[in-house]
Structure 1
Amino acid sequence: MSPIEQLISNFQELVAHVPEIVQPFIIMLAGAIPFIDGEGAALIGIAGGVHPIVAGVAAATGNFLCVLLVVALTSRARTAIVDRRPSPVGVSGGSGARPSVDGAAFQETATANPESKGRQRFNRWLVRFGVPGASILGPLAIPTQITSAILVGGGTPRRWVLLWQAIAIVIWTSIGTVAAWAALTIVVGVS
């Protein structure tokens, strides 16, 4: 038995101690973690001995539920910020107790932090392919949770973001599930 087969066998024995009804929920939690997303969670589930379809569905569900939460929170934050933005004539909006923010000072603060390579790549995809392309290609650069926060924070409607993030999650989790199953079954020889 190769070291990889032994490692997977030991992991499957560990997972076998967890009740079967709880295993998909653990995969869902893994899918909610940025950078693991649905693809990584499906791999974890399949390596643990969970049926590939159950692992894929649980991973995608966990990933989408986290994206849904991020979209809801980002949308509320954006609404709160936009509602407090000073009006064009200089009258402060919102509660009136807050001082207005100088636009030049805000722009200076916003550009003080350089963008990461993943964020730059994502922005290029967003300009070139729009929300559908950025949602589907986004996981190649950054996690789906961050992609959805960027899109909603930029003003894209929540439903549009959720629709395309759901499509992207299904696509990438399906690819990850099939790849993990094939790698473990065909290449490694573990079932």
Structure 2
Amino acid sequence: MVDADDTNEANANGRQGRVAAVVLAAGVGSRFDGGNKLLVGVDDDPLVRRATETVCAAAVDPVVVVLGHDAERVREALTGLPVETVTNPRYDAGQSTSVAVGVDALPVDVEYAVFALGDMPDVTVETVDRLVAAARETDADAVVPTYEEQRGNPVVFHRRRFDALAAVDGDRGGRALFDDSTVTRLAVDDSGVHRDVDTRDDLDDRDRP
């Protein structure tokens, strides 16, 4: 993670503000057969921990994890990681409610935020860092990764879109804003940006070419 003293010095010198991350880990995962998918083991760690560790290793600070369903067990799975957790009491109303809770938890000096999914364990640290760098370079409203020309996650948003993000409703995330935002599409060599885990078969597919 970024050193807080370095970040504060950058702000004092008038350079760009902080980059935070929001990990969405509140959903029920109703398509997953047999327990909470976020707690299923992936390479000896709970899936949500694996996904969150990647974000924590990137150039972001702070990392906010939004909890909801099975919140205490998911929080326990993150023990020892440098994250802040917040709870979304309306998680069953759709992903947009978790996005809003995450936005509300961000410090006022955050200029960009990476919105990542807690059920995507295969995104690389390099991809997250490239998205952050592209956001700073382009000053776009949003930066989205593409793999084989298909859009994926996580997505970086500039703070000027935070209010609009918080106002989205239903089971939608930031993609609802793409039509009226300046969006930079960043091609990455990382199939993990497409690999979310919804079913048991998705876990098996992780090991296939």
Q: Please report the TM-score for the alignment, with normalisation by the length of structure 2.
A: 0.24
Which has more strand, going by share of residues?
Answer: 2
